[in-house]
Structure 1
Amino acid sequence: MRCSLSSVALSLALLSSAEPLLSPYNVHEKRTHIPSGWSLTRRHDPTSSIPLRFALKQRNIEGVGNHLYDVSHPKSPNYGKHWTAADIVRTFAPSDETVDIVRSWLIASGIDGERVALGRTKGWIQANVTVEEAEQLMNTEYNMYTHMSGKEHVACEVYYLPQHVQPHVDFVTPSVHFDAKLTRRSGGESAAPARDIQRVGFGTGPKTDDTVSGVMDGLEQCNEYITPTCLRTLYGLFYNPVATDKNSFGIVEYTPNSYVQRDLQMFARNYSADLIGKEPNLVWIDSNYAQTTHQDFPYHKESNLDLQYGMSLVTGNQTVSLYQTGDLPEGASFNNFLDAIDGSYCTFDGGDVPPRDPVYPDTRFGGYTGPEACGTVKPAYVISTSYSSNEADLSLFYAERQCTEYAKLGLMGITILYSSGDYGVAGNYGRCLNSSHIPNADGYIFNPTFPGTCPYVTSIGATMVRRTATVLDPETACMDQIYSGGGFSNYFALPEYQKDAVCHYLTNYPPDYPSSIWNSTGTSRAYPDISANGANYVVAVDGEFQRLYGTSCSSPVVGAIFTMINDARLALGKGPIGFVNPTIYSPEFADAFNDITEGNNPGCGTTGFNVTRGWDPVTGLGTLNFTKLLALWSSLP
């Protein structure tokens, strides 16, 4: 089911009779379909300017997983010996040969050297050219595509690179890639429906089913109303942090989603008294103001949920950083956030690919007019993100490039958490893949989410307390309002740390589905990794309490637990836990999770995968037992 890109050799005449013969051209990327909601409108104006950006092949990048495993596996002699940012650049920056070959080809093709720019970390080369020049360079045609919302996009169907250049380039933009940034619909600010403002790609925010009357904070009510008290009891999180000046916890939100301070204080007065008078450490990323244009439920539920529970569980003594990313006109993508926390990932330097990702300053009304955030933010030790996209919405090259960046962050000791999605085996927005692997309302093939399928992040699924059970009884997979996202990647290979767990599942509990609707090879990354409760959260939104559901709930809970484990390690003079996956899948940690054995995750016209003993593609390894995890991680170097 993994889509591979063909490499068909083509002969090509001289690009210029004055230049020497170049090597034959090969297909570099080819798109098989126009993404849902887009249509071809017209050929692009050949005289228009277009900033071509060539993502250069990074040196030694094939070994990034091994390096990460070396500092993250509890049996490794280098466990916890995390790298510095300088180590990252020194190891993975593209070679001088790569830079020279790509630059020389551009100049030999008639592009003046003054129009060719290289970033300081050599991750990108930009060539400012016309559409006509770009088409000649890559033997392609550029078109304008229009989304049903009215937004336009520049792209081509296929492009070619010279055979001698191809090994040195990951991908080129703009080309076959389509937009996946978080944004609102055009056509006026009131035109943005709730579904379009909640997640990168096609996702939606946490679900709600009713308004909560009164204060529900007793343990006897946790089967219907989840509060911080319920979560502390479920996972044994009774801990007061002592190294707060050394520790950090970050929660990422994307404008126009925004938290409301008065709602946080309403929640504090009823459920978390130590947050009274507290607010998050607000860190602006390509943004300059709190979102105040839209003051209604869809714009606040995600951020309010994340902050109210993330802050409560680490107590009012621990500062929580809110990374507010993007302005109102542009929105933001995952890459915009990565730009801010790693200067080597900024435009021309390793990650941003306009027009796919928003570029700042934004001169439109209400836009952020400051310089683009580039290495301006020190990343927290634990970063939780309750947003996701679908693998199929992204090209393989684009997803791999971003996934590699998460590996680099793990090397630096940072724990990256992503929610696994709320639609079971279907992708965000409940879409499955059709026979052409296109997300479609009539699709029937399982549709994995991203970045949760990246092997270098920790994917978080959702559980729930059964309506007929108590908080002391075992949880089940979440099957109320939402279904825990899970399954098997179509892009990424099975990581070493997960092989035993996935092999055990497929051997003992093989899914009874034809291989035509899911990746049954047993060689692909499986998700989620772990879970936490994702149902019946009591959240203050716009002056009243609502009951919310979703893996959006689960991710900040896990982030808070890991942050408290970091606190204990830092107090002992040790480092942060960093990338946790090799550790949590190790035999030594096998008893540190509450195994979930009931439920499934429906989607695509099926009942999805079944929950089983041990790891499963619904709840992962299970939920966290804080007491056991704290003892185990405290004993590691």
Structure 2
Amino acid sequence: MHILPAALAALLSVATATPVAQPKVHQDHARSPYAVKETHFVPRGWTATDDSTDQLLDLKIGLKNKKFADLERHLYEVSLPTHHRYRQHFSKEEVDNLVRPDEEASSLVNEFLQDHGISKEQCRYSSAGDWISAALPVAQVEKMLNTKYSVYKHEDGTTMIRTTEWSLPQHLHEHISTIQPTTAFLRASPKLQTVLESPDADFNEDDWDPPSATDLISVCNFEGVTPACLRLLYGTDDYTPQSPNSSIAFTNYLGEVANRSDASRFLTMFRPDAVSSASMFDQISISGGPVDNGTAGAGYEGNLDIQTIAGQVWPINITSYSTGGSPPFQADLNTPTNTNEPYLVWLEYVLGQQEVEQTISTSYGDDEQTVPQSYAQAVCEGFAQLGLRGVSVLFSSGDFGVGSNDTCYSNDGKNTSMFLPAFPASCPYITAVGGTRGYPEVVAYDTRNGYVSGSGFSNYFAQPAYQKDSGVVDKYVESLNGEYDGLYNKSGRAYPDVAVQGYRYIVIYNGSVITLDGTSASCPTMASTISLVNDALMADGQAPLGFLNPWLYTGAGEKAFTDVVNGSTTGCNTAGFPAAAGWDVASGFGTPQFPTMLDILGLGDS
């Protein structure tokens, strides 16, 4: 249900189309001297190989949201169960009006582009006008930003065209938040660890008999987790979705594709009533992202996502987003679009849609320090917009504990020892999902491949109000008694918020059975549970949960989740953060109990 605040009603008359021409700004502004806008050190593992000026970049210019404090206030009010506006989410138009730049900013930035020979016809504008995109030659961008690009190569072979410093005329600094691709080295790798052999090499649909028992020990083999196990473990097995408008989505990057043939085979074995979901889920290509072409085994992550979600939420509508830009990638005149900033590309698309799925799962990320803070802030603010529109956005917490061993150093040129927070898991406007294993559940790990569920404290984002007000993070930090002081930011946003099984999921890939580790599995599982809660709410005529964290930290986390008290997020050559009674930074509030979620929402008979 959308309730239109009076303060926003007057804004609805503001045009939402491409920004119109504004009065000419005084030339003194247009000719103000350049000053450095941003610098960022080259992350560890990257090396400049050569300069490149004969290529095109898909440049994205973010105009600063000067009303974000208002947007954040609205977000918390509609997400806090004790507030009278709880779950009165905003429409697309209302959110657009909160982020639309003022006329002065739009005019100045457009004039700057025109001064560099870039017409409005060459540009793409987001629906709110807060992002401007254009495919431009590197040489032209270098002149615009008073910088020099180079081709950087990662030790794993990935290549990107980046710079370490860029500038703008001084009068534009207050109006532009970020421009990319410039200094962001984010690769958005899947939070997915090494592929593992199936526990039974001959395991196939001819051998498989679905368990007839209803007790957990008989149904669950935690060396090969199935939908039946997850549904029984988290209490969703007796629930049948009821709302025809329920929807869930997952996002893929790097050329990952959810394959229909593999999904059909998986569901035939493990959720036969949901087999039709394999042919019915929607696939949306963004910026040339690939979709299923009929060949099996298009991607581990894509297959894991669709099989995990369809195995739990049938018949809820499922959408797969595939965003283009698959490293190793090097733009040239024949391949003009560099989309190695995948979240900006995806956000521009999805925020432009009138309707968005109520729950979205993403299992990608990288070290927070691989991106400049301005980029992280801009992306995070985009997730906040989704939350205000009633979307539950979930991200995996990472697969290397507090940081991969022997890599735990700052990226400021000082090489200071530190734990490595992940992004977007560190964003305060998403729900970060950690991993567990076994039963009773402990923090997930796998000694065979080094997988450990990720956790940490952001160096970019302060501890958000919902964590500060609940006191659970400060209480946990105090319980550490000074251990690891100096290695993490005690006042930063802490994650994960919750945790779910993330060890040895059975997946069909290229027609064969494999098992996968990773919070890549945890995130779609948690998203599936939330999607079922949203379905129950919508079937009851209520609005979906939207941004989850204020709900979690004001009681739902303690009441509707099973505490995980054993294990730790080892990494950085340390034992990492330990699980403990109550909320902890190793497992958040623990694992979900669907029936209790419904009870505290007044839907116990659903």
Match of 2:271 in 1: 272
Superimposed CA distance per residue, residues 504-534 of structure 1 (whole angstroms, 9 cap, x where no aligned partner):
111223451140x222xx2210000001111
Preserved CA contact (<8 Å) 1:460 1:528 = yes
> In 2, Cα distance between the equivalents of 1:290 and 1:113?
33
Number of the residue aligned with 1:533: 501
Aligned counterpart, 1:304: 303
Q: Would the alpha carbon gap of residues 30 and 574 (structure 1) be closer, same or farther in structure 2, given more than 3 Å must change?
A: same
Q: 2:527 aligns with which of 541, 552, 559?
A: 559
* Matched position secondary structure for 1:225: coil
* Residue in 2 that maps onto 1:504: 475
Q: Give 1:76-87 correspondences, 5 Å limit.
A: 76-87=83-94
Q: CA offsets per residue over residues 383-416 of structure 1, 9 Å max, x none?
A: 1112222211211111111110100000000011
State the Cα distance separating 1:619 from its structure 2 match.
0.6
**Residues 289 and 554 of structure 1, relative CA distance in 2, 3 Å threshold:** closer
Q: Are 1:208 and 2:196 matched, yes or no? A: yes
Give the aligned partner of residue 163 of structure 1: 170
- Taking a change above 3 Å as real, the CA distance of residues 88 and 158 of structure 1, as seen in their structure-2 partners, is same
Among candidates 444, 454, 457, match of residue 485 of structure 1? 454
2:391 aligns to what? 414
* 1:319 matched residue in structure 2: 317
3-state SS, counterpart of residue 590 of structure 1: helix
2:148 maps to 1:141: yes
Give, in whole Å, the separation in 1 of the partners of 2:507 and 2:243.
26
Give the partner amino acid of 1:208: L
What's the counterpart of residue 518 of structure 1? 488
Correspondence for 2:577: 609
Whole-angstrom CA distance in 1 between matches of 2:167 and 2:305? 44
Corresponding letter in the other structure for 1:464: R
* Cα 1:397–1:241 shift into 2, 3 Å: same
1:61 aligned residue: 68
Deviation at 1:210, TM superposition (A): 3.4
* 1:235/1:438 CA distance change after superposition, 3 Å: farther
- 1:404-443 Cα deviation digits (max 9, x unpaired): 010000000001111111111116xx67332445899xx9
Instruction: For residue 20 of structure 1, report the CA deviation from its aligned partner.
Output: 8.1
What is the CA–CA distance in structure 2 between the aligned matches of 1:21 and 1:300, rounded to whole Å? 48
Greater Cα offset, 261-270 or 591-600: 261-270
Shift of 1:576: 0.7
1:535 & 1:50 partners in 2: Cα distance? 39
1:175 alignment partner in structure 2: 182
Q: Residues 525-563 of structure 1, C-alpha deviation per residue, up to 9 Å, x if partnerless?
A: 000000111123222233332232211111111111111
Gaps in structure 1 of 5+ consecutive residues: 1-17, 182-199, 344-374, 467-473
One-letter code of the match for 2:311? S
2:349 equivalent to 1:340? yes
Cα pair 1:461 1:551 within 8 Å, conserved = yes
Q: 2:588 aligns with which of 620, 624, 633?
A: 620
Structure 1 residue 80 displacement after superposition: 0.6
**How far is the alpha carbon of 1:247 from its aligned partner?**
0.7
Is 1:282–2:282 an aligned residue pair? yes
Q: How far 1:588 moved relative to its partner?
A: 5.5
For residues 336-357 of structure 1, give each alpha carbon's deviation from its aligned partner in whole angstroms, at most 9, with x where no partner exists.
Answer: 32233122xxxxxxxxxxxxxx
What residue is the counterpart of 1:365 in the other structure?
none
Q: Is the 8 A contact 2:87 2:543 kept in 1?
A: yes
1:192 aligned residue: none
- 2:571 alignment partner, SS class: coil
Establish whether residue 475 from structure 1 lines up as the match of residue 441 from structure 2.
yes
CA distance in 1, matches of 2:139, 2:291: 42
By how many angstroms is 1:128 displaced?
A: 8.0
In structure 2, relative to structure 1, the CA distance for the partners of 1:131 and 1:485 (3 Å cut) is closer
Is 2:29 aligned against 1:41? no
Deviates more, 1:381-390 or 1:447-456: 381-390
**Deviation at residue 629 of structure 1 after TM alignment:** 0.7
Give the Cα separation in 1 of the matches to 2:248 and 2:235: 19
How far apart, in 2, do the equivalents of 1:633 and 1:55 lie?
A: 38
Change (3 A) 1:288 1:112: closer
By how many angstroms is 1:241 displaced? 2.8
2:21 corresponding residue in structure 1: none
Alpha-carbon distance in 2 for matches of 1:387, 1:426: 16
- Counterpart CA distance in 2 for 1:313 and 1:448 is 30
Deviation of 1:25 after TM superposition, in Å, equals: 4.0
Greater shift in the superposed pair: 246-255 or 614-623: 246-255
1:72·1:582 contact (CA, 8 Å) conserved in 2? Answer: yes
Deviations 1:357-399 (A, max 9, x none): xxxxxxxxxxxxxxxxxx4x84211111122222112111111
SS of the counterpart of 1:587? helix
Q: RMSD in angstroms over aligned alpha carbons?
A: 3.3
Measure how far apart 1:327 and its partner are: 7.3
Distance in 1, Cα, partners of 2:399 & 2:62: 33
Change (3 A) 1:70 1:267: same
Deviates more, 1:165-174 or 1:603-612: 165-174
Structure 1 residues 33 and 434, CA, compared in 2 at 3 Å: closer, same or farther? same
1:276-319 per-residue CA deviation (whole Å, 9 max, x = no partner) reads: 343241222235864559855xx44322222222112123x323
Q: 1:232 Cα shift? A: 2.3
Percent of residue pairs identical = 29
Instruction: Summarize the Cα distance change of 1:118–1:624 in structure 2 as closer, same or farther, 3 Å threshold.
Output: closer
CA distance in 2, matches of 1:110, 1:537: 53
* 2:198 and 2:224 in contact (8 A); partners too: no
Residue among 584, 587, 593 paired with 2:552: 584
- Does the 8 Å contact 1:244/1:319 carry over to 2? no
Aligned residues of 1:59 and 1:91 also touching (Cα < 8 A): no
Quote the Cα distance in structure 2 between the aligned partners of 1:129 and 1:261.
Answer: 37
Out of 28, 35, 42, the residue aligned to residue 37 of structure 2 is: 28
| Structure 2 contact 100–129 (Cα < 8 Å) conserved | yes
CA contact (8 A) 1:115 1:129 kept: no
**1:96-111 map, 5 Å:** 96-105=103-112, 111=117
Give yes or no for the alignment of 1:569 onto 2:537.
Answer: yes
The letter of the residue matching 1:571 is A
CA apart distance, 1:95: 0.6
Contact 2:116 2:144 in 1 (8 A): no
In 2, Cα distance between the equivalents of 1:97 and 1:32? 32
**Cα distance in 2 for residues equivalent to 1:461 and 1:611:** 12
The equivalent residue for 1:184 is none
Q: TM-score, normalised by structure 2?
A: 0.81
Distance 2:523 2:44 in 1: 29
Change (3 A) 1:83 1:19: closer
Q: 1:112 and 1:275 mapped to 2: Cα distance?
A: 51
Query: Is this contact kept in 1: 2:192–2:518, CA < 8 A?
Result: no
Residues 172 and 560 (structure 1), Cα distance of their counterparts in 2 relative to 1, 3 Å cut: closer
Check 1:110–1:608 CA distance in 2 against 1; reply closer, same or farther (3 A cut). Answer: closer
Aligned partner of 1:433 in structure 2 is: 408
* Cα offsets for 1:456-504 (capped at 9, x unmatched): 11000011115xxxxxxx3111123521100101111111111211011
Instruction: State the shift of 1:257 in Å.
Output: 2.4
**Change beyond 3 A, Cα 1:235–1:133:** closer
- Residue 77 of structure 1, CA deviation: 0.7
Three-state SS of the structure 2 residue aligned to 1:432 is: coil
Q: For 1:185-204, list aligned pairs within 5 A.
A: 200-201=188-189, 204=192
Change (3 A) 1:288 1:31: closer
Please list the CA deviations of residues 145-202 of structure 1 after superposition, one character each: whole Å capped at 9, or x if unmatched.
4556777644333223333221111123443334x45xxxxxxxxxxxxxxxxxx247
